[in-house]
């Protein structure tokens, strides 16, 4: 692959920037921080896990309801960067606020966390859609995969800083409480996210767009309605979105619930943080490998490989008992997590008309976000009803099987089929 352009590098670097949020807030330190805060207030472990699942589901629902119309409006000239910047600022501000909320106010922490989810998710709608503006169709698999790889590599630095502060405070080496060290990690997350987004804000611009019209909001709603009526006629795109809805639900649920899941199994916080760090390190080269293999064996083939790996993960999770088992599970996740997400993004980008990328990525996002509602809710509900999180994770297997079967029916992407099936 030839050297990346300035626009491609700047786009890829945003994955480096927002990865701090993904690992420290979504997956690692904040879930443990919230669990400790909620449990110290008298909530049972399974109940706090359920609330964590419900919060992720509700926040995801809110941004999902906005995604298609925002995407439709953002297709007009000049709107994509504005929406990206607004949600980016929202996410950073409330991530910083997590660092100042008293730890015993677990409900306030949960509400502020939900707002960060909205900011992070809203930003990613337009970030993903910028893929069509920064590179060519032939380079999308590898550029998308390099973004995820950079994210995994970049996440290790703030992650190390965060866990080092916490471990040193636990040992009494630093004159900080574990609570203060965790709050410092949240501040580091916001600063990292903000600093390394500057190249994206400076160098990436909207190349494909529709010319502005009077009342862009009203026209955005109108175009959204037209596309919604037609989208079921675009067979490759529609089938892919259905498949994506199911299998990405399972992927997202395993990501967002993994730390709470490990905590309920009795795995210590220190072991969880080390395992999550190792997962980030291992996931980076595998994300790049998926991109290279997709160019050789086709994107759909590699997506099916990733789905199969997740089926194995669900089965293995049902029998999980020890820290070693969790290590094996984490490495299996690392082998496919970045690859399946990166190739889903590039596969979809090849299907959509570039001048309507935001609108279609709005639908991509709503399928992504709505897919993230069922899984956490299912795991949370199962944990409450059975008192056993293993059963909830195992139940996710049906999502991967349905997604895989639907994906088998999606035709391979190429420029000809796209132009024939997606012209508006």
**What DSSP string describes 202-246?**
HH----S-BPP-SSHHHHHHHHHHHHHHHGGG-HHHHHHHHHHHH
Instruction: Provide φ and ψ at 289, rounded to 5°.
Output: -60, -40
358 with 75: CB under 8 angstroms?
A: yes
Give 164's contacts (C-beta < 8 A, 6+ positions apart).
Answer: none
**Structural tokens at position 343:** 């190739």
**Structural tokens at position 362:** 């709005």
239 with 404: CB under 8 angstroms?
A: no
141 with 343: CB under 8 angstroms?
A: yes
- Residue 228's pLDDT is 67
88 Rama sector, left if φ>0, alpha if ψ -120 to 50, beta otherwise: alpha
- Residue 423's pLDDT is 38
Return the bridge partners of 76, or none.
Answer: 210
- Residue 358's pLDDT is 65
- Residue 407's pLDDT is 92
Measure the CA–CA gap between 93 and 269, rounded to whole angstroms: 27
Domain boundaries, the chain: 6-205+215-422
**Residue 273: HSE in the Cβ half-sphere, 13 Å Cα cutoff:** 22
Give 225's contacts (C-beta < 8 A, 6+ positions apart).
Answer: none
Measure the CA–CA gap between 245 and 370, rounded to whole angstroms: 8
Give 140's contacts (C-beta < 8 A, 6+ positions apart).
Answer: 131, 346, 349, 350
Question: Could you report the per-residue pLDDT of 255-276, keeping only the tens digit for each?
Answer: 766 766 677 677 777 787 788 7
- Residue 110's pLDDT is 92
**Structural tokens at position 322:** 């020890």
Residues in the chain: 424
Say how far residue 41 (Cα) sits from the centre of its chain: 30
- Residue 231's pLDDT is 65
Closest to 318 (Cα-Cα) out of 226, 369, 259, 390? 390
- Residue 10's pLDDT is 92
Measure the CA–CA gap between 38 and 113, rounded to whole angstroms: 14
**Structural tokens at position 413:** 């992407």
Measure the CA–CA gap between 71 and 91, rounded to whole angstroms: 18
- 3-class secondary structure, 14: helix
CATH code given to domain 6-205+215-422: 1.20.1250.20
Question: Could you report the per-residue pLDDT of 192-205, keeping only the tens digit for each?
Answer: 999 999 999 999 98
- Residue 70's pLDDT is 74
Say how far residue 265 (Cα) sits from the centre of its chain: 24
Q: Positive or negative, the Cα torsion across 242, 243, 248, 250?
A: positive
Which pTM was predicted?
Answer: 0.72
Collect the ranges in the chain with pLDDT lower than 70.
1-2, 72, 209-225, 227-233, 256-257, 259-261, 264, 354-359, 362-363, 365-366, 368-373, 379-380, 383, 387-392, 412-424
**Residue 348: HSE in the Cβ half-sphere, 13 Å Cα cutoff:** 31
Long-range contacts of 254-257 (CB under 8 A, 24+ apart): 254/310, 254/313, 254/333, 254/393, 254/396, 255/26, 255/27, 255/337, 256/26, 256/27, 256/53, 256/56, 256/372, 256/376, 257/49, 257/52, 257/53, 257/375, 257/376, 257/379, 257/389, 257/393
266 Rama sector, left if φ>0, alpha if ψ -120 to 50, beta otherwise: left
């Amino acid at each position: 692959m030839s050297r990346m352009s300035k626009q491609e590098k700047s786009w890829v670097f945003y994955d480096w920037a927002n990865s701090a949020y993904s690992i420290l807030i979504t997956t690692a330190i904040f879930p443990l921080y919230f669990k400790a805060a909620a449990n110290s207030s008298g909530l049972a472990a399974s109940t706090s896990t359920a609330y964590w699942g419900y919060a992720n589901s509700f926040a995801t629902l809110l941004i999902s309801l906005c995604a298609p119309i925002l995407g439709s409006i953002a297709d007009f000239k000049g709107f994509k960067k504005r929406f990206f910047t607004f949600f980016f600022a929202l996410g950073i501000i409330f991530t910083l606020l997590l660092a100042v909320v008293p730890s015993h106010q677990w409900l306030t922490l949960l509400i502020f966390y939900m707002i960060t989810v909205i900011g992070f998710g809203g930003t990613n709608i337009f970030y993903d859609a910028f893929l069509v503006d920064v590179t060519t169709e032939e380079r999308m698999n590898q550029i998308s995969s390099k973004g995820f790889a950079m994210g995994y590599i970049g996440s290790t630095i703030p992650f190390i800083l965060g866990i080092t502060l916490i471990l040193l405070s636990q040992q009494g080496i630093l004159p900080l409480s574990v609570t203060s060290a965790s709050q410092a990690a949240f501040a580091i997350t916001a600063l990292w996210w903000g600093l390394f987004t500057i190249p994206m804000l400076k160098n990436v611009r909207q190349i494909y767009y529709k010319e502005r019209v009077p009342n862009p909001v009203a026209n955005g709603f109108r175009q959204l309605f037209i596309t919604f009526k037609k989208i079921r006629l675009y067979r490759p795109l529609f089938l892919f979105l259905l498949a994506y809805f199911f299998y990405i639900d399972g992927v997202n649920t395993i990501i967002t619930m993994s730390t709470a899941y490990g905590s309920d199994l009795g795995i210590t916080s220190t072991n969880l943080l080390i395992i999550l760090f190792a997962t980030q390190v291992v996931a980076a080269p595998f994300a790049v490998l998926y991109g290279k293999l997709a160019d050789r064996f086709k994107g759909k083939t590699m997506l099916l490989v990733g789905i199969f790996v997740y089926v194995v993960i669900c089965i293995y999770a049902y029998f999980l008992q020890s820290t070693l088992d969790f290590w094996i599970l984490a490495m299996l996740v690392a082998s496919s997590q970045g690859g399946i997400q990166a190739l889903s993004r590039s596969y979809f980008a090849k299907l959509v008309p570039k001048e309507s990328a935001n609108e279609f990525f709005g639908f991509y996002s709503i399928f992504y976000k709505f897919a993230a509602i069922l899984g956490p809710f299912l795991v949370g509900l199962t944990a409450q009803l059975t008192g056993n999180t293993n059963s909830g994770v195992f139940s996710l297997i049906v999502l991967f099987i349905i997604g895989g079967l639907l994906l088998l029916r999606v035709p391979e992407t190429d420029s000809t089929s796209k132009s024939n099936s997606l012209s508006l």
